[in-house]
């Protein structure tokens, strides 16, 4: 049996003693029934409110073969969409106009054919007192103001369920009413509809469609509606479907609210570590709470668009890899009324204990599965080992799980978590419903608890604050910029332990943990690794500052990477060419490695000029940034024996000239 990453759950007892420590009592679920959020209604954008005509639209081509391939790449998470690059001058298609109310507004539209939903990535966002919305004429997200979400100028918008969206900007008092708007957009997330087919849950999951009018449910046929099990309906408000953006892809998982011992109602959301494991992914998080039927046997929801949602974005608190127990705890911005915080039990349920999972299989509406715990097993999941002592094996009796269920809770009783789903079985010859026996691996909550004790027990903590909320680095031609110093302080007279998490591979901090007090501030040096940047452009990330259960603090870091000189590597293979009867063949390869596009202008072989053959040999004279052009050459005619000397000249887009050589030996 092969395996894929997925979520699951496990049962628990009333109390347990961990590693000889004090007995940890079971935590019961708690209802969250505040009402302040119900009255919050955002004003729609001018275009919707006044019925303005659709603005000029920039239409992308349908998904290319390479973009479709991204959706089908191997991976443990359900791939829902793909990121699409926009041209640098995209904002020039927008235009200013004056509404019937006499107010200026800038508007433009973007179409990505075939998308079921679109999101926009904003950079250098600085709207001040102005407002920015996205809408499709019927539904909108926003307004976004100031420096945008997280006050860093870089964020993903909420989703608009359409293949065409309008972006509107209304300036605040005193702001310019002409020229470009105060933001940049270089990327959109295109959610791709796909028909259900046979998919590999280990070697990669093809994206599956969201249910909508005229399209089939993406979930397999044997899934069960939790509304049909009255004793489990109380667990439904705890579980949400999540979508998020990371590394060129939009992903989908499941998860649940989880309560603290003292019912503080801090907005902690528990999912799998293989789902959310970066601050950037957490900040793009969208949570859908009521994507489910209204009654047993009721009409399935056409889509998740009418579901109650949390406000866009979250912060990553802590996470663990698959070999550490595959857990992730994030802090949401808010939640809708009448959701429920899960309880939890640190006891591992005995073998044969009945257990239940509530989840969103294949990105579909909410379902329920029933099974029991079976013998432990150590499993290799992708390239990671899931140790048997960190996972509960659940044999399903009714219902199944699928990709998209990852991170969902395993309950020992309604609302009491004992695990979160990590992996499950796959057969190339059967659907999920046809696999029998079907066993999933759930990360044990007993292990998760030990890593998240401070948060779940709501232990007191003091906040650690940086003296700089943002850092900017200039990286030119891959040179390493000077490090920058950040001072950490706290109001506590007692020593406070802090942890720093650099949320990008190109970010480095001089220390990852330390102590600070009111009388003893700490100093941290932040540096940049320029070798991690593949292309010129603006890169944004964060340094997270964690101090116990205090609200996390952040330093927003921006790296402006410029390359004004290309670097060409010239090679010829094979390095020794064996001529037989006058026949020969070899390949010239020119690779650009610095990230600056360039033009090949001249080629000489042993002093003879072959520049007129560039187009014929290579098919192009242009070498894209980080790109390669090749000339496979073969024919008749005897080269002089020995080493032959090839010379290449060119000029990059910045106007700088370059020269390279390569040799090949003929025999």
Looking at the DSSP assignment, which residues form a beta bridge with residue 409?
420
Q: What are phi and psi of 440, to 5 degrees?
A: -110, 155
* Domain assignment of residue 173, yes or no: yes
* Domain assignment of residue 27, yes or no: no
* Domain assignment of residue 198, yes or no: no
Span of 187-196, 242-251, 257-266, 459-468 with lowest mean pLDDT? 187-196
Encode pLDDT of 281-293 as tens digits: 999 999 999 999 9
With bands split at pLDDT 50, 70 and 90, how would you rate the model's confidence at 205?
very low
Span of 14-28, 54-68, 223-237 with lowest mean pLDDT? 14-28
Is residue 581's pLDDT more than 80?
A: no
With bands split at pLDDT 50, 70 and 90, how would you rate the model's confidence at 227?
very high
pLDDT > 70: percent of the chain? 91
Is there a single domain that holds both residue 236 and residue 326? yes
Is there a single domain that holds both residue 534 and residue 627? no
* Mean pLDDT across the chain: 88
Distance (Å, whole) CA 516 – CA 520: 6
Question: Span 10-28, mean pLDDT?
Answer: 55
Span of 208-222, 350-364, 522-536 with lowest mean pLDDT? 208-222
Is there a single domain that holds both residue 501 and residue 428? no
Token pair in block for residue 286:
């969208």
* Domain assignment of residue 36, yes or no: no
pLDDT at 33: 67
pLDDT at 22: 56
Question: Span 585-606, mean pLDDT?
Answer: 90
* Domain assignment of residue 22, yes or no: no
Encode pLDDT of 382-395 as tens digits: 889 999 999 999 99
Token pair in block for residue 442:
């759930």
Is residue 427's pLDDT more than 90?
A: no
Distance (Å, whole) CA 101 – CA 98: 8
> Are 132 and 175 within 8 A, CB to CB?
no
* Domain assignment of residue 420, yes or no: yes
**CA-closest candidate to residue 369, choices 348, 405, 397:** 397
Domain boundary among 436, 455, 474: 455
Is there a single domain that holds both residue 554 and residue 656? no
pLDDT at 642: 78
With bands split at pLDDT 50, 70 and 90, how would you rate the model's confidence at 644?
confident
Is there a single domain that holds both residue 433 and residue 332? yes
Any idea what the CATH number is for the domain that residue 283 is in?
2.40.10.120
Is there a single domain that holds both residue 535 and residue 647? no
Contacts 24+ apart (CB under 8 A), 476-479: 476/562, 476/563, 476/564, 477/562, 477/563, 477/564, 477/565, 477/594, 478/530, 478/531, 478/533, 478/563, 478/594, 479/530
Domain count, the chain: 4
* Domain assignment of residue 430, yes or no: yes
Cβ count near 467 (within 10 Å): 12
DSSP class per residue in 333-361: S---TT-EEBEE--SPPPTT-EEEEEE-G
> Are 623 and 568 within 8 A, CB to CB?
yes
> Are 177 and 105 within 8 A, CB to CB?
no
Q: How many residues does the chain have?
A: 667
Is there a single domain that holds both residue 591 and residue 542? no
Question: Span 509-525, mean pLDDT?
Answer: 96
Any idea what the CATH number is for the domain that residue 647 is in?
2.60.40.10
Distance (Å, whole) CA 152 – CA 538: 13
SS3 324: helix
SS3 446: helix
Cβ count near 54 (within 10 Å): 12
Question: Span 32-58, mean pLDDT?
Answer: 78
Listed in order, strand segments (DSSP E) in 477-532 are 484-489, 496-502, 507-509, 513-516, 522-528
| The pairing of beta strand 513-516 with beta strand 239-246 | unpaired
> Are 169 and 106 within 8 A, CB to CB?
yes
Question: Span 457-471, mean pLDDT?
Answer: 94
Sheet-wide strand order for 507-509: 465-466, 484-489, 522-528, 507-509
Q: What are phi and psi of 226, to 5 degrees?
A: -65, -20
Domain boundary among 517, 532, 562: 562
Is there a single domain that holds both residue 141 and residue 290? no
More confident site: 233 or 594: 233
Domain boundary among 421, 455, 489: 455
DSSP class per residue in 41-63: -PPPPHHHHHTPPP--EEEPPSP
SS3 456: helix
Distance (Å, whole) CA 484 – CA 496: 23
Is residue 193's pLDDT more than 90?
A: no
Cβ count near 436 (within 10 Å): 11
Is residue 508's pLDDT more than 80?
A: yes
Instruction: Name residue, tokens 């964060």.
Output: 542
> Are 448 and 315 within 8 A, CB to CB?
no
Distance (Å, whole) CA 207 – CA 204: 10
With bands split at pLDDT 50, 70 and 90, how would you rate the model's confidence at 197?
very low
Is there a single domain that holds both residue 326 and residue 380? yes
Q: Cβ contacts of residue 176 below 8 Å, gap of 6+?
A: none
Is there a single domain that holds both residue 515 and residue 603? no
> Are 411 and 233 within 8 A, CB to CB?
no
> Are 649 and 602 within 8 A, CB to CB?
yes
Q: What are phi and psi of 305, to 5 degrees?
A: -65, -30
With bands split at pLDDT 50, 70 and 90, how would you rate the model's confidence at 634?
confident
With bands split at pLDDT 50, 70 and 90, how would you rate the model's confidence at 638?
low
SS3 109: strand
SS3 538: strand
pLDDT at 591: 94
Domain with 631 in it: 568-666
Is there a single domain that holds both residue 392 and residue 250? yes
Is residue 639's pLDDT more than 50?
A: yes
Encode pLDDT of 549-579 as tens digits: 999 999 999 999 887 778 899 999 998 888 7
> Are 651 and 598 within 8 A, CB to CB?
yes
With bands split at pLDDT 50, 70 and 90, how would you rate the model's confidence at 51?
very high
Listed in order, strand segments (DSSP E) in 78-183 are 78-85, 95-98, 104-111, 117-123, 128-135, 140-146, 155-156, 164-170
With bands split at pLDDT 50, 70 and 90, how would you rate the model's confidence at 15?
very low
Is there a single domain that holds both residue 181 and residue 223? no
Is residue 199's pLDDT more than 50?
A: no
Any idea what the CATH number is for the domain that residue 172 is in?
2.60.120
**Predicted model pTM:** 0.81
Is residue 208's pLDDT more than 50?
A: no
Question: Span 51-70, mean pLDDT?
Answer: 91
pLDDT at 198: 36
* Domain assignment of residue 586, yes or no: yes
Token pair in block for residue 426:
């796959």
Is residue 201's pLDDT more than 50?
A: no
Is residue 200's pLDDT more than 80?
A: no
**CA-closest candidate to residue 120, choices 70, 71, 89, 83:** 83
Q: Cβ contacts of residue 72 below 8 Å, gap of 6+?
A: 79, 204, 206, 207
Question: Span 96-102, mean pLDDT?
Answer: 94
| The pairing of beta strand 343-344 with beta strand 416-426 | parallel
């Amino acid at each position: 049996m092969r395996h894929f990453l997925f979520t699951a759950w496990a049962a628990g007892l009333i109390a347990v003693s961990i590693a000889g420590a004090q007995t940890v009592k079971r935590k019961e679920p708690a209802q969250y029934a505040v009402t302040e959020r119900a009255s919050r209604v955002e004003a729609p954008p001018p275009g919707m409110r006044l019925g303005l005509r659709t603005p000029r639209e920039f239409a992308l081509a349908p998904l290319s073969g390479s973009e479709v391939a991204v959706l089908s790449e191997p991976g443990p998470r359900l791939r829902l969409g793909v990121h699409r690059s926009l041209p640098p001058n995209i904002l020039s298609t927008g235009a200013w106009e004056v509404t019937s109310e006499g107010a200026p507004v800038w508007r433009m539209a973007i179409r990505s054919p075939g998308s079921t939903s679109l999101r926009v990535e904003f950079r250098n966002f600085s709207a001040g007192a102005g407002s920015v919305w996205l809408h499709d004429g019927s539904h909108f997200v926003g307004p976004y103001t100031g420096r945008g979400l997280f006050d860093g100028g870089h964020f993903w918008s909420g989703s608009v369920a359409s293949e065409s969206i309008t972006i509107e900007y209304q300036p605040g008092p005193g702001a310019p009413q002409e020229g470009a708007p105060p933001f940049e957009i270089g990327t959109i997330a295109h959610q791709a509809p796909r028909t259900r087919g046979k998919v590999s849950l280990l070697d990669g999951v093809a994206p599956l469609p969201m249910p909508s009018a005229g399209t089939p449910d993406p979930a397999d046929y044997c899934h069960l509606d939790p509304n049909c099990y009255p004793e489990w309906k109380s667990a439904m408000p705890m579980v949400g479907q999540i979508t998020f953006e990371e590394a060129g892809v939009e992903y989908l998982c499941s998860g649940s609210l989880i309560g603290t011992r003292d019912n503080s109602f801090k907005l902690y959301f528990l999912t799998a570590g293989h789902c959310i494991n970066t601050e950037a992914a957490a900040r793009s998080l969208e949570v859908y709470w009521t994507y489910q039927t209204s009654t047993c046997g009721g009409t399935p929801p056409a889509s998740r668009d009418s579901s109650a949602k949390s406000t866009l974005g979250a912060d990553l608190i802590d996470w663990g890899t698959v070999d550490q127990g595959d857990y992730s705890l994030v802090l949401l911005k808010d939640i809708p009324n009448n959701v429920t915080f899960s309880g939890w039990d640190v006891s591992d349920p005995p073998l044969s204990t009945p257990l239940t999972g509530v989840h969103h299989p294949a990105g579909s509406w909410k379902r329920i599965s029933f099974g029991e715990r079976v013998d432990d097993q150590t499993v290799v999941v992708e390239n990671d080992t899931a140790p048997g002592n960190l996972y509960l094996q659940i044999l399903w009796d009714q219902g199944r799980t699928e990709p998209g269920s990852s991170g969902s809770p395993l309950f020992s009783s309604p609302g009491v978590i004992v695990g979160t789903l990590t992996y499950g079985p796959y057969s190339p010859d059967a659907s999920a419903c046809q696999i029998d026996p079907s066993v999933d691996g759930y990360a044990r909550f007993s292990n998760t608890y030990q890593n998240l004790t401070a948060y779940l027990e709501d232990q007191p903590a003091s906040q650690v604050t940086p003296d700089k909320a943002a850092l900017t680095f200039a990286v030119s031609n891959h040179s390493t910029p000077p490090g920058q110093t950040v001072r950490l302080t706290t109001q506590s007279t007692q020593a406070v332990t802090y942890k720093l998490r650099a949320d990008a591979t190109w970010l480095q901090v001089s220390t990852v943990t330390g102590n600070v007090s009111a009388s003893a501030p700490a100093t941290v040096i932040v540096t940049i690794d320029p070798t991690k940047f593949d292309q010129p452009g603006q890169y944004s990330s964060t340094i997270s500052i964690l101090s116990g259960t205090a609200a996390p603090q952040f330093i927003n870091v921006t790296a402006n990477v410029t390359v004004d000189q290309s670097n060409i590597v010239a090679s010829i293979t094979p390095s020794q060419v064996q001529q037989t009867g006058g026949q020969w063949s070899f390949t010239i390869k020119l690779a650009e490695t610095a990230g600056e596009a360039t033009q090949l202008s001249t080629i000489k072989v042993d002093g003879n000029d072959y520049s007129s053959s560039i187009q014929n040999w290579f098919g192009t004279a242009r070498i894209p940034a980080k790109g390669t052009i090749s000339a496979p050459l073969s024919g008749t005619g005897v080269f002089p024996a020995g080493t032959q000397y090839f010379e290449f000249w060119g000029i990059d887009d910045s106007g700088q000239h370059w020269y390279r050589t390569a040799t090949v030996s003929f025999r």
